[in-house]
Amino acid sequence: MSETIQTLLQENRTFPPSEAFKAQANANDAKIYETAAADPEGFWESWARQLDWFEPWHTVCDFKPPYAQWFVGGKINAAYNCIDRHANSTRSDKPAIIWEGEPGDSRTITYGEMLDEVSRLANALKSLGVGKGDRVSIYMPMVPELAFTMLACARIGAAHSVVFGGFSAESLEERTNDAQCKVIVTADGGWRRGHIVPLKATVDEAMDLGCPSVTNILVLKRSGQEGEITNGLPTPKYNEGSWVEGRDIWWHDIVPQQSTDCPCESMDSEDLLFILYTSGSTGKPKGITHTTGGYLTGTFATSKLVFDLKDNDIHFCTADCGWVTGHSYVVYGPMANGATVLMYEGAPDAPDKDRFWRIVEKHKATILYTAPTAIRAFMKWGIQYPDGCDMSSLRLLGSVGEPINPEAWMWYHEVIGKGRCPVVDTWWQTETGSIMISALPGITPTKPGSATQPFPGISVSVYSESGSSVEVTGPDQLHKATGGFLVLTKPWPSMTRGIFNDPARFQKTYWSRFENAYFAGDGVKLDEDGYLWLLGRVDDIMLVAGHNISTMEVESALVDHPSVAEAAVIGKTHEVKGQAIAAFVILRHGHENHPTLVDELKKHVAHKIGALARPDDIFISAELPKTRSGKIMRRLLRDVAEGRALGDTTTLADPNVVSALKDKYESSES
Ligand code: ATP
Ligand code: MG
């Protein structure tokens, strides 16, 4: 087996920050990298000091792999830092949340109002017996009350476990039991693509499956009963679920009358802030834990530097709070900075495919943070949608969730950012808590498709299979282009404190492959300028005739072809080569399959990256199997291509997609 991952794709375009952006940026001096590398603990401490602590720490970091403690002995409250310190000062009347519901209803909540709302809710939770050390499941639509609930839990010292509102009753039941939650906070329903997602009915189903730790269900009225009017639209028919007296409580029956006086619990820096189950792209979700002081320090610092967050920004992160991105860059990071966040409830194509752009235009968003899967969908839909909107308020664009292929990066930069806005591709994970690799927009010249540099204070290495390493220490170093395993070699404040109730799995998944280093599970290449290029998950990397080839690079080459909107590439068992490359391709709007297309695409890949990467099979498809967070599940495509029964599909957005794909694939083969 070859030692390193072959890296094939070449991308030479560079985009240095403009002088104008640089001049106003929160970080514009490259010395920050040297300073942080010389004393990472001191660097992080300087950020922790910008938060409000009730008591100081005595030790910055205590690292006994695989566990680290940060700001040991310090006392802090996350809600205090995200609300009170702004509400009690000059930001009392500043909007904390600008929210838009899918039916078009809209609300603005100031920091002063949020303090009252969150305090009342915190008192209501206390009245249900929730206190310090308890856990609460949150199963809600993207409404302001979702953020209030997270912060109300933080206020009283209960850990939250947000379960994405698109997950099934089984998923909710499994996560609620694993975390032993006392209360589930939900809503009657939420809006998605013109329909109502019946949240309360799904909670009822989960309760029927059995959640013995749950004593109460707190229900926000969002959708209303059938026929009720929301923003001029009657609520359509949906399954409202049933009401269990004593157990189920309407939010409006107990929250509004509570006192707005609810002092923040003084939490230990290392007390649990939340549990979040990973999105499950690779298997059964893991209950990732995060504690208070370190997590808040990491999200606070990265928000300020990566998004260049300022007091007059309108920060639009399109992620749902069911994912870590919503935790770190809708709620904790921006709010610790006292920023204004723009929150949207529904789908990007409801009522039409220009919804995001209409929202940007209407609320004058300055920062947009979204995922490559969304960007590729926008490309597929066509530029007439963004071009019909005034998006001149935008000044910075971000990407997260998957490697962004250069074609999508360029489209984002040109069509959405009009070439004006720096694009930050941010690599991180639920486990890392905050951004680990990204450009700093006032310092780093960007390259389309590269996440560029480790964040200051973060130590990234590229390891070969045998564990020999290439250290990535700064932008000026010269390195030989090479691919390998992405490893973090020093602790950082927002790192996970483990998998809830499963220390063995934690050790095995992240800390057993290399000694005393965190193995992220992703492949990465380092170019001669010291830039990092994420290659996708190591499990997805193919072994073709003795060469490790990244699925991501072949996908990028396919998407580079004008007729391709999206591609998923897998290695399919092959008698001679070990694995052969198979691709599933979705065409762009207005492009049809034709008899020579498949051949044309194979040639295109061979031309772009070499004959070694030429796919054996290309299958034109209408859809690809994706997780609820929009990531392609390649393991299921391997099942399809190899004619196996499909593996676990519970975290898929739509399990029908993969079964239909399997049928079509099998009939095309015979
Ligand atoms: P599970 O761990 O349960 O399989 P998951 O890894 O999809 O699910 P997340 O923590 O949401 O759950 O995703 C983190 C992963 O997403 C990273 O390990 C990486 O594979 C991918 N990723 C995130 N951001 C980027 C990025 N900017 N570039 C490349 N890959 C990214
Ligand atoms: Mg993962």
Tokens of 37: 């590398």
401 lines ligand 1 (CB under 6 A): yes
Mean pLDDT of 222-236: 86
Which ligand sits nearest to residue 535's alpha carbon? Answer: 1
| Burial group, residue 106, by CB count within 10 angstroms (0-12, 13-18, 19+) | middle
pLDDT tens by residue, 351-406: 999 999 999 999 999 999 999 999 999 999 999 999 999 999 999 999 999 999 99
Tokens of 423: 């694009």
6 lines ligand 1 (CB under 6 A): no
Helices (H) and strands (E) in the chain, counts: 22, 34
Phi-psi region of 241 (alpha: psi -120 to 50; beta: other; left: phi over 0): left
Those residues with Cβ within 8 angstroms of residue 331's Cβ, 6 or more apart along the chain or in another chain: 82, 147, 150, 151, 321, 341
pLDDT tier, 539 (very low <50, low <70, confident <90, very high otherwise)? confident
Strand partners, 95: 110
| CA count, 13 A, side-chain hemisphere, 558 | 33
How far apart CA 426 and CA 318 sit, in angstroms, is 14
pLDDT tens by residue, 100-127: 999 999 999 999 999 999 999 999 999 9
Q: How far is the CA of 417 from the centre of ligand 2 (A)?
A: 29
pLDDT tens by residue, 68-100: 999 999 999 999 999 999 999 999 999 999 999
In the predicted structure, residue 272 carries a pLDDT above the cut 60: yes
Q: How far is the CA of 281 from the centre of ligand 2 (A)?
A: 7
Tokens of 66: 């695989």
| CA count, 13 A, side-chain hemisphere, 210 | 1
Q: What is the DSSP letter of 538?
A: G
Mean pLDDT of 157-171: 95
- CA 616 to chain CA centroid, Å, is 33
pLDDT tens by residue, 479-499: 344 678 999 999 999 999 999
**What was the pLDDT predicted at 478?**
33
Whole-prediction pTM value? 0.94
Count of CB atoms within 10 A of residue 503's CB? 12
How far apart CA 222 and CA 240 sit, in angstroms, is 12
540 lines ligand 1 (CB under 6 A): no
Pocket test for ligand 1, best of 402, 435, 460, 519 (most atoms within 8 A of CB): 402
Strand partners, 542: 549
In the predicted structure, residue 473 carries a pLDDT above the cut 60: no
**What was the pLDDT predicted at 4?**
64
**Architecture of the domain spanning 78-91+110-265:** 3-Layer(aba) Sandwich (3.40)
Q: Return the ligand 1 atom nearest residue 277 CA.
A: 3
281 lines ligand 1 (CB under 6 A): yes
pLDDT tier, 475 (very low <50, low <70, confident <90, very high otherwise)? very low
Strand partners, 187: 220
Q: Is-contact 504 26, C-beta < 8 A?
A: no
Beta strand 216-220 pairing with 248-250:
parallel
Tokens of 157: 């010292």
**What was the pLDDT predicted at 212?**
98
Mean pLDDT of 451-461: 96
Enumerate the domain spans of the chain: 78-91+110-265, 541-669
Q: How far is the CA of 625 from the centre of ligand 1 (A)?
A: 16
Q: CA torsion sign, 583 to 586 to 587 to 592?
A: positive
| CA count, 13 A, side-chain hemisphere, 283 | 7
**What was the pLDDT predicted at 3?**
54
H helix intervals, 88-168: 111-127, 144-156
Count of CB atoms within 10 A of residue 386's CB? 20
Q: How far is the CA of 19 from the centre of ligand 2 (A)?
A: 37
| Number of residues assigned to the chain | 670
Domains 78-91+110-265 and 541-669 equal at CATH topology level = no
How far apart CA 541 and CA 521 sit, in angstroms, is 11
Tokens of 281: 């792209």
Query: What mean pLDDT value characterizes the chain?
Result: 93
Q: Return the ligand 1 atom nearest residue 426 CA.
A: 27
Q: Of residues 607 and 11, which shows the higher confidence score?
A: 607
Residue nearest to atom 1 of ligand 1 (CA): 280
425 lines ligand 1 (CB under 6 A): yes
Q: Is-contact 510 66, C-beta < 8 A?
A: yes
328 lines ligand 1 (CB under 6 A): no
In the predicted structure, residue 1 carries a pLDDT above the cut 60: no
556 lines ligand 1 (CB under 6 A): no
Lowest mean pLDDT among 51-55, 438-442, 649-653: 649-653
Q: How far is the CA of 428 from the centre of ligand 1 (A)?
A: 7
**What was the pLDDT predicted at 476?**
35
Q: How far is the CA of 322 from the centre of ligand 2 (A)?
A: 15
408 lines ligand 1 (CB under 6 A): no
Q: Return the ligand 1 atom nearest residue 325 CA.
A: 11
Nearest one of 312, 331, 318, 131 to 215, comparing CA atoms: 131
Task: Give the 3-state DSSP-derived string for 507-519, with helices as H, strands as E and coil as C.
Answer: HHHHHCCCCCCEE
- CA 253 to chain CA centroid, Å, is 34
Lowest mean pLDDT among 86-90, 161-165, 431-435, 525-529: 525-529
How far apart CA 275 and CA 105 sit, in angstroms, is 31
372 lines ligand 1 (CB under 6 A): no
**What was the pLDDT predicted at 651?**
82
- CATH no., domain 541-669: 3.30.300.30
**What was the pLDDT predicted at 477?**
36
Q: Of residues 528 and 289, which shows the higher confidence score?
A: 289
Q: Is-contact 500 530, C-beta < 8 A?
A: no
299 lines ligand 1 (CB under 6 A): no
